[in-house]
Structure 1
Amino acid sequence: MSGNKSVIIASLFLGAGIAAAGYFVSQTTLNERTGANTARVKGLSERVVQADTGRWLLSFSSFGRDVTQVTDVFEQTQAKSVRIHDILTAAGFSDDELRFTPLRKSDYTDRDNEGKIIDRYFLVSGSIQITTSEPQKIDPARQPIFDLAKDGIDVAQDSLRYEYTKLNDIKPDMLREATENARIAANEFASNAGVSVGGIQSASQGGFQIDAHSGSTSALDKLVRVVTNITFYLEN
């Protein structure tokens, strides 16, 4: 490869063995001022991890119309709270993982098109936030909670979120893997071009991305992904 020629390779399709290691886009340029050939390469590292934290929010309520019912409705709602607590405890959750909000009363008024009051009622409602470092306990508890509807106790799932919080534990290995995959891509180009890969001229990394492996935000498995951008020297 002559030092006074400019060569731009816009894209490179890697073989099946390279593709198995990840997806790479490579480009090479010839720097005429310095006479140095370089290959700019992207290296990908992906891995599936399991969430280590679960956050599950449930809510429940009881209905009343007459002010004389307020005490009874509060007691009904408290009884629902106890039933939910018992199910979650039986599912292996500790009290430290459960946070019940105080019960509260909310008043409502329905009006017709002319603004006349046609109904008055109130709800006594509560909620529970489950936060656990053992998120695998959540799924087995969901059916028993929702089965309470058979006894007239409707429990709403307001949110369910699984999180992976140990990114720092896998960052070094993933960056190493992405860098190695980038070098594989550079070596593939260099082999086709009849040159060899030298040292690194420059390198940078994109941010780590954590996405649900199945596409659902409530999935236990998470896909962690990082891409490195590395420029290698090419040697004749």
Structure 2
Amino acid sequence: MKLNDKQTAAAIIAVGMAFMGMAIRNGIVTFKDRDRTVAVKGLCEREVKADKVTWSLTYKEIGNDPSAMYDLLEQKNRKVVAFLKSAGIKDDEISINPAEIADRQADNYGNEIMNYRYKAKSVITVTSNNIDQVRQLMRRQAELMKQGIAIVSEEYSNNVTYEFTGLNRIKPEMVQEATKNARATAQKFADDSGSKLGDIRSAQQGQFSIENRDNNTPYIKRIRVVNTMEYALD
């Protein structure tokens, strides 16, 4: 072999090794020279709007007369329900949890002097598929404040959650798209390496993940799936 031919061959090998190294680092392509196969990953991502919302309206009271506190919570419950219905929320979308009343003195291990012995909490939950309607209603919470009802957030839970329940409807299309993308990656690798893409040797479907697109739009969900395919190279 002439010197120029050796230099050309060495350059081709170097470029090929660089490409392979980059592909492996990116987790896209794994090439098995001995078996003449290539393993590739195909990604499919979609952004969808949530189709279910759960909104918990929590309000609290403190006092020394449990009976009077219970009556006050009942009055507020009626006002909140009337507020919700006036905005188009249906009866079957509203649930009222039993009022909770706790004796603060029973938990007072430090003998702290308390002006109010009891604390009470009431929670009304709205569960709806009408995301826009509920979001518009949430912006009107100040109307409840004017009626003496302060909606509070629970320390260890979100007062509103959004879900997407239609995953099974779009699963087949997403799997097909991820598989198509994997094949396109494998085909490009075959073309770049001077090989012919053969049959599928193995296929593995990844788990679907559903996450909020970002913190500001939790009602927009990002769905993701990654398929791993192994092809023969001829």
TM-score class, shorter:
0.7 to 0.9
Matches within 5 A, 1:18-33: 25-31=28-34
Opposite residue 55 of structure 2, the aligned amino acid is W
Q: Is residue 2:101 matched to residue 1:105?
A: yes
| Percent pairwise identity | 29
If the length of structure 1 is used for normalisation, what is the TM-score?
0.79
* Displacement of 1:145: 2.4
Q: Which moved more, 1:141-150 or 1:115-124?
A: 115-124
Matches within 5 A, 1:97-176: 97-109=93-105, 115=111, 117-158=113-154, 159-176=159-176
Decide whether the 8 Å contact of 2:213 with 2:222 is kept in 1.
Answer: yes
SS of 1:156 mapped into structure 2: coil
Decide whether the 8 Å contact of 1:24 with 1:43 is kept in 2.
Answer: no
SS of 1:231 mapped into structure 2: strand
Aligned counterparts of 1:116 and 1:233: Cα–Cα separation in 2: 76
Opposite residue 99 of structure 1, the aligned amino acid is S
SS of 1:144 mapped into structure 2: coil
Change (3 A) 1:175 1:118: closer
Decide whether the 8 Å contact of 1:48 with 1:222 is kept in 2.
Answer: yes
* Match of residue 208 from structure 2: 208
Change (3 A) 1:135 1:165: same
* Match of residue 196 from structure 1: 196
Decide whether the 8 Å contact of 1:49 with 1:221 is kept in 2.
Answer: yes
Query: How many residues in Structure 1 have an aligned counterpart in Structure 2?
Result: 211
Opposite residue 76 of structure 1, the aligned amino acid is L
The structure where helix makes up a greater share of residues is 2
Aligned counterparts of 1:53 and 1:117: Cα–Cα separation in 2: 45
Matches within 5 A, 1:46-65: 46-65=45-64
Aligned counterparts of 2:209 and 2:153: Cα–Cα separation in 1: 27
If the length of structure 2 is used for normalisation, what is the TM-score?
0.80
SS of 2:152 mapped into structure 1: strand
RMSD: 2.5
The structure where strand makes up a greater share of residues is 1
Matches within 5 A, 1:36-51: 36-51=35-50
**Structure 2: 5+ residue runs without aligned partners?**
1-15
Change (3 A) 1:211 1:108: same
Change (3 A) 1:74 1:209: same
**Structure 1: 5+ residue runs without aligned partners?**
1-6, 14-22
Opposite residue 175 of structure 1, the aligned amino acid is V
Aligned counterparts of 1:30 and 1:112: Cα–Cα separation in 2: 71
Note the alpha carbon deviations across 1:188-222, whole angstroms, 9 max, x for none: 11111112211101110110001111246x71111
* Match of residue 181 from structure 1: 181
* Match of residue 227 from structure 1: 226
Aligned counterparts of 2:120 and 2:195: Cα–Cα separation in 1: 76
